[in-house]
Structure 1
Amino acid sequence: MNASPAPDSPRLTSLSHGGGCGCKIAPGVLSQILQQGGAGAVMPPELLVGIETADDAAVYRLNDSQALVATTDFFMPIVDDPYEFGRIAATNALSDVYAMGGRPIMALALVAMPVSRLPLDVIGAIIRGGQDVCRAAGIPIAGGHTIDSVEPIYGLVAMGLVHPDRVRRNAGARPGDVLVLGKPLGVGVYSAALKKEQLGDAHYREMIASTTLLNTPGPLLAALPGVHAITDVTGFGLAGHALEMARGAGVTVAVDWARVPLLPGVAELAAAGFVTGASGRNWAGYGADVVLAHGLPATAQALATDPQTSGGLLVACAPGSVDEVLAVFAREGFARAAVIGGVQAGPARLELR
């Protein structure tokens, strides 16, 4: 199960008030904060993607064939094993580069640790986990910053390159598109069970496997002309990130709930009450723009809003490109990628059917 590095070391999750992408500020609160600081911002023409549609990363045009993708992501422990925490955090941070269609080129480490409470070997294991993920992605951790903190926090500044014509925003979906999800849902539910020491070994292994699987299909998908939009599903849940896609394009996104893949045992765990507080905060922030069909399972709302740490890519593509998209996912090791719905003309909202 969730390994502990040393008998005299506290559980990592006991040192933080939240874990993984469930730490995100609630979407409604975040919107208010961003509105306070948006006036007068400098927006050069080279900035291809900024904060306007809550996209996954910023993109800055360097020349006719290259654009820089820049992002940062960091959070508090979602597991107690320090090495796995480092791997999960790094995989999650690099995902935003892949989601824009980019290939990572380097990263900087962000390390904030309660040095007086955590043994140095534990902190070292966290950093080593991040380094191993970056090595697997073929990039260096070229620097970073460290501070002494009350809670343990780890993440990366990630940078990548993409051809300007292959940038895939979350706002490019078109009526008639098909939606494909790359990873099954349920990481937040697993984390809630783990925090209460009720997550079995097999489910823990599923959690680690999902959250450390790099979203490498991103740039391959962006090279397909029929792929119109890509985002990754993280802290705001499938519903929140699908809704951002709907708002960005001014369309209705419809999800067929029966087709949404779930991690093993997640439906049962959610029914037993293992749901994160972030799920409720997510619904409070955007639920007014989500239509829930009659007859959905009782857990559908909680699972649709379940915060995904290092979640899968959500792709909007032309119907004729679905087989190519699924083939890319399969070649990259995403065995449970699935068609989950579609895009239609209509108000900017999400419909769960």
Structure 2
Amino acid sequence: MTTQPAPSVAPAAAVSPRLTSLSHGGGCGCKIAPGVLSQILAQSGAAGVVPPDLLVGLETADDAAVYRLNDEQALVATTDFFMPIVDDPYEFGRIAATNALSDVYAMGGKPIMALALVAMPVAQLPLEVIGAILRGGQDVCRSAGIPVAGGHTIDSVEPIYGLVAMGLVHPDRVRRNAGARPGDVLILGKPLGVGVYSAALKKEQLQDAHYREMIATTTRLNTPGPLLAELPGVHAITDVTGFGLAGHALEMARGAQLAAHIDWASVPLLPGVAKMAGEGLVTGASARNWAGYGAQVRLAPGLPATAQALACDPQTSGGLLVACAPEAAGEVLAVFAREGFEYAKVVGRLYDGYPSLSLYA
């Protein structure tokens, strides 16, 4: 009998304790469950002062806030942080930074700078490990052409890292998650399955090749965002993260007051994910996601048994989900291809109807 190889990790990850052992969750799977989050936000009251130049705020749970500076520029502001999804500190930093910058790209913006958010159990982690986390984030920001211009640090019981990310976009090119139109097709930029990979990694059942796929997809910057925002046929963009494809497609449907249909056979999956999910390697966040929004999702007969879990699989640094006119789909796919997103595919469509999501075989 052959044994599966252990995950590939850099030497810095060999220090004790393992990063993932210090946290109760990892990556975007740490998000508060959607149903609980809705209750919390309902208790928080009104949004307070809402100036006329605030183009995007809390209304539709969009990816970032957008504030008009002048007729040519709007500021995109967002923040994202989480606990380790991998044990390699450098790769953890890269993944967290890539994920944080994604929200700027999803609004159609180009990042201009970032601030680091760092909470670390200083007594438990060697300083060189914490330094490697920060270096990973800095290297991603360097790839995006922006500085890490400051930040904030605290001593914490769990390791947490992320960014405040800021960008610029023309006010006319802001792409919200709520702008979709009837008849639009849905295009997904990255394959699903990061949550499944992370569950396998925690149980030390992730093969080397799958670990490399995990790092590659979670550290790929969503650079098509601002290019897609220049296309008149692109009506809405969001990124698929902790609430899974189903949750973020449902947000898009709610925002546009439309019904979303997804052709499950067209949804791209990371290699080996379907098999792993069938073996029970799924995250607890997948079940929490379903509990939060499953009442608005219809699973058609004939779907694979794993479809529900994979549709709700929390994606860390996931792909862009684009709603565009059918005649613009070729241009959208061409942009993804030029930027190196070989998995990008048309996965569904939006129709007139009660805001909901249906998955078809």
| Class of the TM-score when normalised by the shorter of the 2 chains | over 0.9
Give structure 2 stretches of 5+ with no counterpart.
Answer: 1-6
3-state SS of 2:12 partner:
coil
Does 2:152 correspond to 1:152?
no
- Kept in 2, the 8 Å contact 1:2–1:80? The answer is no
3-state SS of 2:101 partner:
helix
Assess, with a 3 A threshold, how the Cα gap between structure 1 residues 61 and 198 changes in structure 2: closer, same or farther. same
The Cα offsets for residues 62-120 of structure 1, whole Å up to 9 and x where unpaired, read as 00010000000000000000000000000000000000000000000000000000000
Does 2:327 correspond to 1:320?
yes
CA–CA distance in 1 between the matches of 2:235 and 2:191? 22
Does 2:267 correspond to 1:232?
no
Give structure 1 stretches of 5+ with no counterpart.
Answer: none
Q: Which residue of 1 aligns with 2:4?
A: none
Does 2:268 correspond to 1:256?
no
Q: Which residue of 1 aligns with 2:170?
A: 163
- Report the CA distance between 1:9 and its aligned residue: 2.2
Q: Which residue of 2 aligns with 1:212?
A: 219
Does 2:96 correspond to 1:89?
yes
CA–CA distance in 2 between the matches of 1:155 and 1:38? 27
- Kept in 1, the 8 Å contact 2:13–2:88? The answer is no
Question: TM-score, normalization: structure 1?
Answer: 0.99
Residues 164-183 of structure 1 aligned to structure 2 (within 5 Å): 164-183=171-190
Assess, with a 3 A threshold, how the Cα gap between structure 1 residues 40 and 261 changes in structure 2: closer, same or farther. closer
CA–CA distance in 2 between the matches of 1:170 and 1:8? 41
Assess, with a 3 A threshold, how the Cα gap between structure 1 residues 347 and 7 changes in structure 2: closer, same or farther. closer
Q: Which amino acid aligns with 2:40?
A: I
Residues 1-353 of structure 1 aligned to structure 2 (within 5 Å): 1-3=7-9, 5=12, 7-39=14-46, 41-353=48-360
- Report the CA distance between 1:163 and its aligned residue: 0.3
CA–CA distance in 2 between the matches of 1:40 and 1:84? 36
Q: Which amino acid aligns with 1:191?
A: S
CA–CA distance in 2 between the matches of 1:300 and 1:126? 34
3-state SS of 2:253 partner:
helix
What is the root-mean-square deviation in Å for CA atoms of aligned residues?
0.8
Q: Which amino acid aligns with 1:280?
A: A
- Kept in 1, the 8 Å contact 2:23–2:158? The answer is yes
User: How many residue pairs are counted as aligned between the two chains?
Assistant: 353
- Kept in 2, the 8 Å contact 1:67–1:162? The answer is yes
Assess, with a 3 A threshold, how the Cα gap between structure 1 residues 6 and 54 changes in structure 2: closer, same or farther. closer
CA–CA distance in 1 between the matches of 2:214 and 2:162? 18
Query: Moved runs in structure 1, 4+ residues, more than 3 A?
Result: none
- Kept in 2, the 8 Å contact 1:212–1:310? The answer is yes
Assess, with a 3 A threshold, how the Cα gap between structure 1 residues 40 and 156 changes in structure 2: closer, same or farther. closer
3-state SS of 2:154 partner:
strand
- Report the CA distance between 1:42 and its aligned residue: 1.2
CA–CA distance in 2 between the matches of 1:8 and 1:259? 41
- Report the CA distance between 1:224 and its aligned residue: 0.1
Assess, with a 3 A threshold, how the Cα gap between structure 1 residues 208 and 65 changes in structure 2: closer, same or farther. same
Q: Which amino acid aligns with 1:66?
A: Q
The Cα offsets for residues 192-237 of structure 1, whole Å up to 9 and x where unpaired, read as 0000000000000000000000000000000000000000000000
Assess, with a 3 A threshold, how the Cα gap between structure 1 residues 8 and 227 changes in structure 2: closer, same or farther. closer
Assess, with a 3 A threshold, how the Cα gap between structure 1 residues 119 and 219 changes in structure 2: closer, same or farther. same
Q: Which amino acid aligns with 2:235?
A: H
- Kept in 2, the 8 Å contact 1:77–1:152? The answer is yes
The Cα offsets for residues 27-59 of structure 1, whole Å up to 9 and x where unpaired, read as 000011111113261111110000110000000
Question: TM-score, normalization: structure 2?
Answer: 0.97
CA–CA distance in 2 between the matches of 1:66 and 1:78? 35
CA–CA distance in 2 between the matches of 1:65 and 1:290? 40
